[in-house]
Structure formats: C-alpha cells, structure tokens
Amino acid sequence: MSAPSAAAPTPQAITDRMRAGWNWSATNYASMISVSGYANPINDIIIKTLREKHGDTPFSLLDVASAYGEPSLTLAKAFPHGKFTSTDLADANCKIGPAQAASRGVTNITYESADGQALPYPDQSFDVVTCCMGLMFMPEHKKALSEFRRVLKPGGTLLTTTWGPQDRCQHVRVMSVVVAALGFPSSPLDPCKFGTGEALASDMAAAGFRGAAPQVVVTQVHMPAEYAMSLLMGSPVGAAIEARRAAGESDILERADKELRAAFDQFQLWNADGSVTFKDLAAVLISASA
C-alpha cells in the first residue's frame, strides 16, 4: 500500500512562503536587478504608454510586487509630478526602497507593505496600477486582478509584465536545473505559467478590464561575474539554501555554486570576461483599461 501523498499547500501557505523567501533575499535581489538591465526595454514601453495617455498631467500610480521599487522608481523619475506608491509583499524590500529613491533623487514615491491579492486601499484610488513580474508568484492571481480593478479609477490603466514561455526564458531553465540538482522540490509557482499571455488577458477581461492584448518584449539579463550567485541568492531559492546551511549542510553553498556554473556551461552562457548573459528573453507586457 503506497503512502498517502502530501496535501497541496494552501494559497495562504504559498503566499507566506513567498513572503519569507523574498524577505530573506531582498538585498541580494536588489543587487542583481540593479546590474542586470532586464527591465530597461520594458520600462521604456511603460513610460511611452503613460506619456501618451497622461502627458504632463499628474497621475497617481500603485506599483504592486515592486520589490525595492521597480518600475515605480524609474517611472517616478520620468514623471516628477506624479504620485507613486510602491508596494511589496516583503517588508524587507520596502525598507530598502527609500535609500534607493534617495540615491536617485526621487522624492515623489512612498513605500508600503501590501499583498497584491488583498490590497489595503479604498476603491477607485489610483489612475494607474503596475505589476511587473509579480502575478506569476501570486497563487490567487485572479483575486489580484480583481483587486487591481477595484482600486483603479474608471478608465484607469493596468500594466503588467510576466515571463513568456520557458523555451524563451533561459534563466528560468537554469534555475530549474540547479534546483533539481540540489534536491529541492519543484515550486508550486511557475515563473513561466502565463506563457504567451493569452490566458492572462482572458482573466483580465473576466475581472472587468477592457482591451487586454499581450505584447512580447525581448530583453536580456546580464550578470557580471561577481553577481552570478545572485541568480540563486536573490530569490526564495536562496532562503532555502540558507536554511539547509543553518541545519548543518555546510557544503551547500559550494554545491550550489558548482551546480549553477555547470548549468551556465550546459546552456553556453559564459562571456569571455566571466560574466553571464541570458539573451533573447521573452517578457510579455499587457496593457488594459478599467
């Protein structure tokens, strides 16, 4: 007789795990994102979209799952008369944010902890909601979309990005190889779960949004040699690695580094200077109206 399978984690348990993982990895994640450059082409399109709609007219923007403040920091600098609220599930990210804003001379942004699946804001509070690379880490993304619709003013704009299909996301494939090699269970949340974005656009329509149409944005992730391990340690995987180290697995960091470098070899990602570049990555941007 086979042993009963473990019960699937509840959405709240997954959210709590995500919160703990991102709290632990906040500093490493900020370091990685600051050098990777992946968001630049995405932010350019978002800025163009907002400029076409709002021009120089002030608007209010809520950024959900923003980590230390992207894209809200870049947008706040581009639109100095706007009012920006940067939120993240992890308190640690929100604590890093103000220093990031100060270093860029950005003063029109505030930071608050918030779960995108249960936003603490009144109805019709914002002109714009952004959520970049966040929805795929929310176990109840449909609830999040309903929340985005609720807090947007009539005619307001939703801008989201997610990763495309896994065959266009080498960094996700590398992570999957390393996680399996280290014996970790697969995550209940797939970073590439929305693929081409068509199903997510349908979910947006069901939540009351209009005109949702996926657009593929080609980008890349560049990691200088000294930041290579940030691919692991700047994510909840890093928290799991640290937990095993703290439990007595003294060589886990060395093993993780070895497996990561082997994966870079497997996918032929090395540059001559020892840096790593994930090229031709597919991000999916969707703009919709409330």
What integer pLDDT is reported at residue 83 of this predicted model?
Answer: 99
What are the backbone dihedrals phi and psi of residue 98, each rounded to the nearest 5 degrees, phi first?
A: -55, -40
Please indicate, yes or no, if residue 113 is contained in any of the structural domains.
yes
What are the backbone dihedrals phi and psi of residue 187, each rounded to the nearest 5 degrees, phi first?
A: -70, 145
Please indicate, yes or no, if residue 18 is contained in any of the structural domains.
yes
What integer pLDDT is reported at residue 6 of this predicted model?
Answer: 64
Mean pLDDT, to the nearest integer, of 254-283?
Answer: 95
- R_g (Cα) of the chain, nearest Å: 19
Please indicate, yes or no, if residue 227 is contained in any of the structural domains.
no
At CA 94, angle to CA 93 and CA 97, rounded to 5? 90
| pLDDT per residue as tens digits for the range 159-207 | 999 999 999 999 999 999 999 999 999 888 999 999 999 999 999 999 9
Residue 136 has pLDDT above 60, yes or no: yes
Q: Which domain holds residue 211?
A: 11-166+187-220+280-289
What integer pLDDT is reported at residue 1 of this predicted model?
Answer: 46
Question: How many domains would you assign to the chain?
Answer: 1
Residues 244 and 242: their CA atoms lie apart, in Å, by: 5
What integer pLDDT is reported at residue 34 of this predicted model?
Answer: 84
Contact by Cβ (8 Å): 168, 197: no
What integer pLDDT is reported at residue 187 of this predicted model?
Answer: 86
Residues 106 and 275: their CA atoms lie apart, in Å, by: 31
Please indicate, yes or no, if residue 2 is contained in any of the structural domains.
no
35 confidence band (pLDDT: 50, 70, 90): confident
Residue 31 has pLDDT above 70, yes or no: yes
- Using a pLDDT cut of 70, give the percent of the chain over it: 98
Contact by Cβ (8 Å): 148, 131: yes
Contact partners, residue 280, CB within 8 Å, separation at least 6? 168, 218, 220
Which CATH number is 128's domain given?
Answer: 3.40.50.150
5 confidence band (pLDDT: 50, 70, 90): low
Please indicate, yes or no, if residue 202 is contained in any of the structural domains.
yes
Please indicate, yes or no, if residue 256 is contained in any of the structural domains.
no
Please indicate, yes or no, if residue 28 is contained in any of the structural domains.
yes
**Average pLDDT of every residue of the chain:** 95
Please indicate, yes or no, if residue 226 is contained in any of the structural domains.
no
Q: What is the pTM of this model?
A: 0.95
